[in-house]
Homo-oligomer: A and B are copies of this chain.
Amino acid sequence: MKFELKEISIRAKQEFEMINITEQVKDTVRECGISNGIVYVITEHTTTGIAVNEALPCVEKDIMQTLDRLIPENYPYNHNHYLPSYGTIGGNTPGHLKSLLTGNHCVFPIVEGKVKLGSAADIYFCEYDGIKNRKYMIYVMGE
């Protein structure tokens, strides 16, 4: 059994952004040389998410706008106070909540060396509190 963890650096260009990482996941799986197994994509940050959705700019926009409608930026959140551990005021509650709703990972089978995705299913790294240097894990288990 082979176990391979790759940590990928990523940096959005905007405060809120859905970044399609499907090709990166496919490439990493190919390089691992595993025939059968499973691949996990897991974000390392709690104001980001991993989503599976259709790769259309209008759908990406609808996702971001709907999350913003459900979890508005301007709202008296508890986190909006001085945090000694931060040395500043907590201001990214919406990011933590969008992360909760989105989830922090996805998983797909590896069959005959290839990631078995669904129909019109792409993998997204969702930035809800940019612009920051971020990392996500691609973890492959198999034979």
Question: Which of A8-16, A23-31, A35-43 lies on the face that meets chain B?
Answer: A35-43
Residue A20 is within 8 A (CB to CB) of chain B in the complex:
no
Contact B46 A121 (CB under 8 A): yes
Given contacts A53-B96, A58-B78, contact A105 B104 (CB under 8 A): no
A81 to B1 Cα, complex, angstroms: 48
Residue A73 is within 8 A (CB to CB) of chain B in the complex:
no
A114 to B121 Cα, complex, angstroms: 30
Proximity string of chain A (32-61) to chain B, C-beta cutoff 8 Å, 1 when within and 0 when not: 000011101011111000011110101101
Given contacts A96-B53, A100-B53, A100-B101, contact A42 B78 (CB under 8 A): no
Contact B63 A100 (CB under 8 A): yes
Integer count of this chain's copies in the complex:
3
Name the interface residues of A81-113: CB closer than 8 Å to any CB of B: 81, 83, 90, 93, 96-97, 99-109, 111
Which of B54, B63, B65, B107 lies in contact with A105, CB distance below 8 A? Answer: B107
A6 to B139 Cα, complex, angstroms: 22
Contact A81 B58 (CB under 8 A): yes
Contact B40 A96 (CB under 8 A): no
**What are 11 A-B interface contacts by the 8 Å CB criterion?**
A3-B142, A5-B111, A38-B40, A40-B109, A44-B121, A45-B118, A58-B78, A58-B83, A58-B93, A62-B78, A100-B101
